[in-house]
Amino acid sequence: MALHALGCREVAKHRIFTWMHVSVLPGHVLIAFARCDDTTFGILQRRLHVLWWLRLGTALDDRPWYTPTTSFDTYPFPYGLTPAATASKQVQPTTKGALIPAGLAPGAVANATAVADAAKRLYDLREPWLNLPEWTEWTPDIVPLGRTISLYAQRATARPETKDEAAKRTLTKLYNDLPPWLQSAHQQLDKAVAEAYGWTDYTPAMTAIEVRTRLLKLNLSRVGVPA
């Protein structure tokens, strides 16, 4: 995962974060985050951050627009897991193979691990649905002049006999349908992120207003403004 960074589309129906190879050059509609740990991925991918973004982001017609200056820069990460606390970019593995930021304060390690493990599980469930192994061939990308191997990620190409069906498997379609296994994985990740905030009373039924109110109070407390 060290050769990857987090990415998301600037304008999209669903706020979906995913890993992209560092050889990808983001255009004006693709936002890249210089992070390679599953903890940050899990925090950004979940309901709490999505609700914050929907309130503070902008929109293009009827499509929500992810604006980093208002959606990311203002978002109050859990204590000990803020971008400043994980600025070293170094990572270490959990027992389940997820990656957490290295050098965290002792009290933040357990929360980082729980979020990372849940986030990795979500990603590991999602990816095979997108590129069904029996439908997909992985081939090397181009090899630059003067080199013997490619610097780029392998390409996923649908087998000829499954090309039409494979084309229907997109993240947008997956989240439009939201199958039970995906919903369950997101709920588990939601729970881990909420617990990182100390919200032991969190349930999927917690209203958007309550979530945003709590996040706003945390935001204001960090900038020294009375809530």
How does DSSP assign 140-209, residue by residue?
Answer: -----TT-SS-SSPPEEEE-GGGHHHHHT--HHHHHHH--HHHHHHHHHHHHHHHHHTT-TT--TTS-HH
Number of domains in the chain: 1
173 assigned to some structural domain:
yes
Any domain includes 83: yes
Residue 227 belongs to a domain: no
User: Domain for residue 158, yes or no?
Assistant: no
CA separation for the pair 68, 24 (Å, rounded): 19
Cβ proximity of 174 and 129 under 8 Å = yes
**Is position 154 within any domain?**
no
Per-residue pLDDT of the chain (227 residues; tens, 9 = 90+): 446 788 888 887 888 898 887 777 777 788 888 888 999 999 999 999 999 998 988 777 777 888 889 999 999 999 999 988 877 778 999 999 999 999 999 889 999 999 999 999 999 999 989 888 887 777 777 777 777 776 666 777 777 777 888 788 888 899 999 999 999 999 999 999 999 999 999 999 999 999 999 999 999 998 766 55
pTM: 0.86
The reply to whether 149 falls in a domain is: no
Residue 122 domain-assigned (yes or no): yes
Distance of CA 206 to the CA centre of its chain: 21
Question: Is residue 162 a part of any domain in this protein?
Answer: no
Judge contact between 174 and 182, C-beta under 8 A: yes
Domain that holds residue 12: 4-131+169-222
